[in-house]
Amino acid sequence: MKLNNSLEHKECRDFLHFIEDSKKRHVRHRIRRGKTLEPTGEELAKTNSKRALLGWYKKCNELKVYWKKNGHCDVPRNDPKLGVWVKNQRGHKKRHEAGLKTAMNDEKLQHLSDMDFQWSVIAEWDQRYEELKNFKDEHGHCRIPCKGKLGIWGMHQRSTANRPKSSEKIAKLEAIGFFDS
């Protein structure tokens, strides 16, 4: 990729210089088992705002770090930056699918899908609840290990700060003895 000297924003130029320098030195910042995501030359050529595109990739790489560390992309909405960004991606996908104007494109959707991005939070809750019921049927209790998607989901359900706001969901968890263990 050749640097475009007409970039108006210093931040964009600095980011592009960083990419070019790291390619020359064969040094890449790696996120365990994966490379830092970067826009393709085609994406850069198509975009109306290189700054916005580079900002999207910066956030996507932050999400990738979160995903590698936590095993999921379900960043809490109360996270002032990344959680809000994740929530916004769901809205952008809906607009993209409806054919409305949005910065979302197929490449971005693929990057997020490659990280098992949950496009519907409601569907995920129901899926984890079914996994919890299966766990209880198999083990006779709801004391799930605190690792993996089910374990992390369970910790969030027990945490008063993250407990479901829906009384229907709480009633479902109480009905199987989730809070008793």
Quickly list DSSP for 143-176: ---SSHHHHHHHHHHHSTTTS-S-HHHHHHHHHT
Spatial contact of 82 and 62, defined as CB atoms under 8 Å apart? yes
Which band of pLDDT confidence, cut at 50, 70 and 90, is reported for residue 32? very low
Residue 181 in 3-state DSSP? coil
What pTM was estimated for this model as a whole?
0.54
Residue 45 in 3-state DSSP? helix
Q: Is the pLDDT of residue 181 over 70?
A: no
pLDDT digits (tens, 9 = 90+) for 38-88: 999 999 998 889 999 999 999 999 999 999 888 888 888 778 889 999 989
Most confident of 18-22, 60-64, 118-122, 148-152: 60-64
Alpha helices in the chain (DSSP H): 10-24, 41-46, 50-70, 82-97, 106-114, 121-139, 148-158, 167-175
In whole angstroms, what is the distance from residue 147 CA to residue 152 CA? 6
